[in-house]
Amino acid sequence: MSDSDKTAVAAHLYVTMRRVANRVIDVEWMSKNEEYAKAILSLARQQGAEDLTHYADLYEGLMFGGGGTAATAVAAAPVAVTPKPMAPEPPPKPRYEEPTDDDDGGGSPPPSRYVGSLR
- Summarize pLDDT for 25-55 with one digit per residue, the tens: 888 888 788 898 899 899 998 988 888 899 8
| Predicted local confidence at residue 68, as pLDDT | 46
Any domain includes 32? yes
Number of domains in the chain: 1
Any domain includes 10? yes
Any domain includes 50? yes
Any domain includes 45? yes
Considering the entire predicted model, what is its pTM? 0.52
Burial class (CB in 10 A: 0-12, 13-18, 19+), 90: exposed
Any domain includes 95? no
Any domain includes 85? no
Q: Which residue has the higher pLDDT, 70 or 107?
A: 107
Q: Per mean pLDDT, which of 25-34, 63-72, 101-110 is the most reliable?
A: 25-34
Residue 38 to residue 50: CA distance in whole angstroms: 18
The 3-state DSSP class for residue 74 equals helix
What percentage of the chain carries pLDDT values higher than 90? 5
Q: Are 55 and 9 in contact (CB under 8 A)?
A: yes
Q: Which residue has the higher pLDDT, 60 or 79?
A: 60
Domain that holds residue 45: 3-76
DSSP calls for 25-66: --HHHHHH-HHHHHHHHHHHHHT--HHHHHHHHHHHHHHTT-
| Predicted local confidence at residue 33, as pLDDT | 85
Contacts of 68 (CB under 8 A, 6+ apart): 58, 61, 62
| Predicted local confidence at residue 71, as pLDDT | 43
Any domain includes 92? no
